[in-house]
Structure 1
Amino acid sequence: MVVVGGATRLTGSGLSITEWKPITGALPPLGDAAWAAEFEKYRLSPQYQLLNTGMELSEFKFIYWWEWGHRQLGRFIGLVYLAGFLVVALRRLLPWRQSAVLFGMGLLLGLQGAIGWIMVASGLEPGMIAVAPVKLTLHLSFAGLFFASVVAFATWLTPPRRIEEARGRGFALLLLALVFVQVALGGLVAGSKAGFTFNTWPLMDGALVPSGSTLFAQPSFWENFVDNVALVQFNHRLGAYLLLAAALWHAFTMRSATPGSGMAKRATAIAGLTLTQAALGIVTLLLVVPLWAGLAHQALAFMVLAMAVVHVTRSTVTAHPTGV
């Protein structure tokens, strides 16, 4: 779902459907008349008038199918989750506390869908040719929250392979927080298309640290953190350096303190994934964000997030009632 959402963003397809119809919108246009009517709605949007004037119907169908597929996959996930929750709740397959957690996760999933429409609506405002970067970041961040909750819940229900002393929980939580921040900073990069500028590394605008006039070119200090592509990209770079340094340090300390332990192995896996993700991010930047690299970078970010969530969940519990 996250990868399809990324493709929808990178292909410029997110504003092709200008209405939010959670039920009836599941059906795509059927027939030439329906396609013409849908295309006419898009032609009234600011994105068409300011950016895509003269687009052919065949080109519109391409971006329409990406957005429709993204929404349809969201509907499918929601239905699968609802059906699964009803089975668990009605058959009382889990204790009430865990069922309550599942219910809360379902609310989070529904909220994510609503945030998706709020994001799209921001791009349909007069003068807009894309969604607002902050709202895209919010959409991506809530996707990360729901994804993390699924991983955490699954880990919670899975007995550990062996019981060992839980160590390094504080640093594991710090790593998880840094991953979330970096995902959000990546959302701002995607929302402002900052990855299509300053396509050099390690230098940026000819220096390791761009000039203050470049980083804070906007009149409003705070607007620079969202709308200034130079500062948005620079913050994402800094976040990557900080996260990589923290992951490598955590792996080193855990391997030294508890060699061969599950904690050390997970810390090493996080460090390896983070290093690979950093390298992929550099490649994506240098190649000016080709579709395959952008999607791979986003997918690997969520793999890092998954491993960080497992790491925190396992470090929180020293034993499991059915653990071996």
Structure 2
Amino acid sequence: MTNASSPSGVDPASQSVLSPETIYRRQEAAKRNRRVLRMWLGVVLIAIFALVLVGGATRLTDSGLSITEWKPIHGVIPPLTAEEWQEEFELYKRIPEYQQINAGMDLAGFKRIFWWEWAHRILARGVGVLFAVPFLVFLVTGRIERRLRWPLFGLFVLGGLQGAIGWWMVASGLSERVDVSQYRLATHLTLACIIFAAIVWVSRGLAPHSADEAPSGLRRFAGLLAAMILVQIYLGGLVAGLDAGLAYNTWPLMDGAFIPTDVLAIEPWWRNIFENPKLVQLDHRLFGYLVWCATLLHMGHAFAVAPGTTHARRSAILFALATVQAWIGIATLLTQVPFDLALAHQGAALILLGFATAHLRGFYGAYPPPVMVRVGTQTPEEKLPSAA
């Protein structure tokens, strides 16, 4: 098997000097491997995007507690007979959500919420398989560069942790509450977005980059933006968990006031930040304004210090995406969180985070090539024939 990750013009097995033709073939093999890995990670990103949207739909339809047991293997198969459906329904009747919110629901109504949660869980398992199986194949066949093996394995571990956090979230609503904990829901959503952003980071590093230079301050600003967007997504998770989007449905004021009354009604005061729907919605609004202003400043900074570069052009796209996301959020609020707009708002947040991550990764350039251009006494600056 050709070792496409040889670090120099010396074969690591025989320590013999490689010919220019051999190094050229290995470089081309490395480029092909990177293309294959990018395609694979792109498919995983699409699957995670779909998973996040289905998770949002599960929340919007109040379906998340319809499956009351965690069966990672057996749970793949839904109820197939009338008896199995009735058994599943009886389990649901034991939890507070049914007893206090959905008492009197018939089996047909239960099936509607069951299928949303089952689809979310089966899609999550599918994403795990979609990541794990190709990863093992690429690892065994030597297609994954040494520098990426542990990071990709770490992403696989995070995916497993995300599944456990998902059940931890569901468990919070099975005994005393009629819904899941907003803390756990926001954690579940944020970790999914971290995994999504990390895959974007790796995939972008495997792609060709421009050679445009940019000041380090601009790169740090881009990093701050990506972190701010992630914080805003966490705040959005709190809004979803508390149904805080329904607390006020006016804009720009909140029922005639910039800061509504009773935003500090809960003691101690700091709990209002996470548990008072009025303050939670206000926090999400204000931080959203801050994110939008920051993307505007970043765009102005980029065009001032790095005009004509890909960094400046990407900053303009990032600002446009932030503006679209802000308008979707306002429309969602004013129309009292309809299903389609709420999902669009969640999906646009993921797109914004993904682009902000790719924008930040662009400042660092592609991963160094796995094969150095050096043969015998040749220097690294002496290039071999290009495949272009």
Regarding TM over 0.5, the answer is yes
| Runs of 5+ consecutive residues of structure 2 not aligned to the other structure | 1-50, 371-385
Q: What is the match of residue 199 of structure 1?
A: 249
Provide the C-alpha distance between the structure 1 equivalents of 2:214 and 2:74, rounded to a whole number of angstroms: 50
Please list the CA deviations of residues 265-306 of structure 1 after superposition, one character each: whole Å capped at 9, or x if unmatched.
111111000011001100000000000000000000000000
Tell me how far 1:180 sits from its aligned partner.
Answer: 0.5
Tell me how far 1:223 sits from its aligned partner.
Answer: 1.6
Q: What is the match of residue 82 of structure 2?
A: 32
Please list the CA deviations of residues 191-219 of structure 1 after superposition, one character each: whole Å capped at 9, or x if unmatched.
000001110000013211224xx110112
Q: What is the match of residue 104 of structure 2?
A: 54
How much identity, in percent, do the aligned residues show? 46
User: SS in structure 2 opposite 1:143?
Assistant: helix
Contact 2:232 2:287 in 1 (8 A): yes
Structure 1 residue ranges, 4+ long, deviating more than 6 angstroms after superposition: none
Residue in structure 1 matching 2:174, options 119, 124, 128: 124
Query: Which has the higher relative contact order, 1 or 2, with Cα contacts under 8 A spaced 6 or more apart?
Result: 2
Query: Residue 285 of structure 1 aligns to which amino acid in structure 2?
Result: L
Contact 1:164 1:318 in 2 (8 A): no
Provide the C-alpha distance between the structure 2 equivalents of 1:284 and 1:38, rounded to a whole number of angstroms: 34
Confirm or deny that 1:229 pairs with 2:287: no
Q: What is the match of residue 139 of structure 1?
A: 188
Query: Residue 263 of structure 2 aligns to which amino acid in structure 1?
Result: L
Residue in structure 2 matching 1:267, options 315, 319, 342: 315
TM-score normalised by L of structure 2: 0.80
Alignment of 1:62-81 (within 5 A): 62-81=112-131
User: SS in structure 2 opposite 1:223?
Assistant: helix
Tell me how far 1:99 sits from its aligned partner.
Answer: 1.1
Provide the C-alpha distance between the structure 2 equivalents of 1:157 and 1:26, rounded to a whole number of angstroms: 34
Q: What is the match of residue 100 of structure 1?
A: 150
Q: What is the match of residue 153 of structure 1?
A: 202
Q: What is the match of residue 309 of structure 1?
A: 357
1:279–1:267 CA distance, 2 compared to 1 (3 A): same
| Runs of 5+ consecutive residues of structure 1 not aligned to the other structure | none
Residue in structure 2 matching 1:5, options 49, 55, 59: 55
Q: What is the match of residue 219 of structure 1?
A: 267
Provide the C-alpha distance between the structure 1 equivalents of 2:297 and 2:220, rounded to a whole number of angstroms: 14
Provide the C-alpha distance between the structure 1 equivalents of 2:221 and 2:203, rounded to a whole number of angstroms: 22
Provide the C-alpha distance between the structure 1 equivalents of 2:102 and 2:271, rounded to a whole number of angstroms: 27
Contact 2:208 2:366 in 1 (8 A): no
Q: What is the match of residue 256 of structure 1?
A: 304
TM-score normalised by L of structure 1: 0.96
Provide the C-alpha distance between the structure 2 equivalents of 1:6 and 1:171, rounded to a whole number of angstroms: 30
Contact 1:159 1:320 in 2 (8 A): no
Tell me how far 1:320 sits from its aligned partner.
Answer: 5.4
User: SS in structure 1 opposite 2:134?
Assistant: helix
Contact 2:205 2:361 in 1 (8 A): yes
Q: What is the match of residue 95 of structure 2?
A: 45
Q: What is the match of residue 287 of structure 2?
A: 239
Contact 1:166 1:318 in 2 (8 A): no
Higher helix share: 1
Query: Residue 326 of structure 2 aligns to which amino acid in structure 1?
Result: A
**Please, what is the CA RMSD of the aligned residues?**
1.5
Tell me how far 1:260 sits from its aligned partner.
Answer: 2.3
Q: What is the match of residue 162 of structure 2?
A: 112
Contact 1:163 1:320 in 2 (8 A): no
Query: Residue 100 of structure 2 aligns to which amino acid in structure 1?
Result: L
User: SS in structure 1 opposite 2:260?
Assistant: coil
Q: What is the match of residue 276 of structure 1?
A: 324
Provide the C-alpha distance between the structure 1 equivalents of 2:369 and 2:123, rounded to a whole number of angstroms: 36
